[in-house]
Homo-oligomer: A and B are copies of this chain.
Amino acid sequence: MTAGVGARRSVRVSREQSISSEESVSGASFREIRPDRSITEQVREAVRSAIIDGDLAPGALHSVQRLADAFGVSRTPVREALIDLARTGMVRFERNRGVRILQTSIHGLEEILALRLLLEVPAARRAAQLATPPVDRALERELMAMATAATAGDEPLTMRHDRLFHRAVNEASGNQRLADYVDSLRDLVVTSGVSTAGRSRSLEAIVAEHEAILAALRARDPAAAGAAMKAHLVSTALLLLEQEGGRAADAPLVWAELVEG
């Protein structure tokens, strides 16, 4: 126990006892029952959520010890969780200094958006070939929840359902690994700071783009599904890059030309 107990708690990750208590994540079905998730897993998800939600600011330097104290566990599971996150690029260990919360650079953002284009557009086409009524219904549910959240101006909730919608589409393609990887890519993009200007309008525009995707999937029209997904991702890319870098870099557009002829 190092001194400085009174150090201000810059990490207000969650309630003190949240680790040992059950998380009641609202909404979607659990893919697997994990009654006794390991502490490491719980810490990993907590830190991941904290970064995504902006509770852990990009660029900030933390220590395993302080994070462990905040969670009420020892250093080991925290370190192991961070190793996991470091591999995906969300954090970086700096020897004898701490753990840096990483901010995806403009170039990194371009790379990520290009990867999403390359993967999700074909996945949407494939999903249109494989979709079944249950898949339709699941997508409809997510889209409705997204629309409700968007009209309410609840941006985090909208983004959460946006994520679940994309995951459902990607899983419907039959390639689970693709879905997982795309999901991990999304962790690297900070979405919490979306510009306040014209926020509700862009949120509703996003919902409209998803409606187009769903319509194409329901019609079992691969070409339309791919086109709709491509349009959506390009739109998203432009929005993010404009917001992040002032001037939009056009790298993702170049990649967009490479996908789907």
**In the complex the two chains form, is B260's CB within 8 Å of A261's CB?**
yes
Q: Is A151 an interface residue (CB 8 A)?
A: no
A-side interface mostly: helix
Q: Is A177 an interface residue (CB 8 A)?
A: yes
Contacts of A177 in B (CB 8 A): 108, 111-112, 115
**In the complex the two chains form, is B111's CB within 8 Å of A258's CB?**
no
Q: Is A119 an interface residue (CB 8 A)?
A: yes
> Which A residues between 49 and 93 are near B, CB-CB below 8 angstroms?
79-80, 83-84, 87-88
Q: Is A7 an interface residue (CB 8 A)?
A: no
- Chain B nearest Cβ from A73, distance in angstroms: 16
Q: Is A147 an interface residue (CB 8 A)?
A: no
**In the complex the two chains form, is B181's CB within 8 Å of A181's CB?**
yes
Q: Is A157 an interface residue (CB 8 A)?
A: no
Contacts of A260 in B (CB 8 A): 258, 261
Q: Is A176 an interface residue (CB 8 A)?
A: yes
> Which A residues between 98 and 126 are near B, CB-CB below 8 angstroms?
108, 111-112, 114-115, 118-119, 122, 125-126
Count of chain copies: 2
**Please, which residue of chain B has its CB at the minimum distance from the CB of A122?**
B258
Contacts of A215 in B (CB 8 A): none
**Please, which residue of chain B has its CB at the minimum distance from the CB of A258?**
B122
- Chain B nearest Cβ from A255, distance in angstroms: 7
Q: Is A14 an interface residue (CB 8 A)?
A: no
A176 to B108, CA, bound (A): 9
**In the complex the two chains form, is A175's CB within 8 Å of B114's CB?**
yes
- Chain B nearest Cβ from A237, distance in angstroms: 14
A258 to B226, CA, bound (A): 10
**In the complex the two chains form, is B258's CB within 8 Å of A125's CB?**
yes
**Please, which residue of chain B has its CB at the minimum distance from the CB of A222?**
B258
Asked, given contacts A83-B80, A83-B83, A122-B255, whether A115 binds B261 with beta carbons under 8 Å apart, the answer is: no
A114 to B125, CA, bound (A): 14
**Please, which residue of chain B has its CB at the minimum distance from the CB of A124?**
B258
Asked, given contacts A83-B84, A108-B177, whether A119 binds B119 with beta carbons under 8 Å apart, the answer is: yes
Q: Is A208 an interface residue (CB 8 A)?
A: no
24 contacts between A and B (CB under 8 A): A80-B80, A83-B83, A83-B84, A84-B87, A87-B88, A108-B177, A111-B176, A111-B177, A111-B178, A112-B177, A114-B175, A115-B119, A115-B177, A115-B178, A118-B118, A118-B122, A122-B255, A122-B258, A125-B258, A126-B254, A174-B251, A175-B255, A259-B259, A260-B261
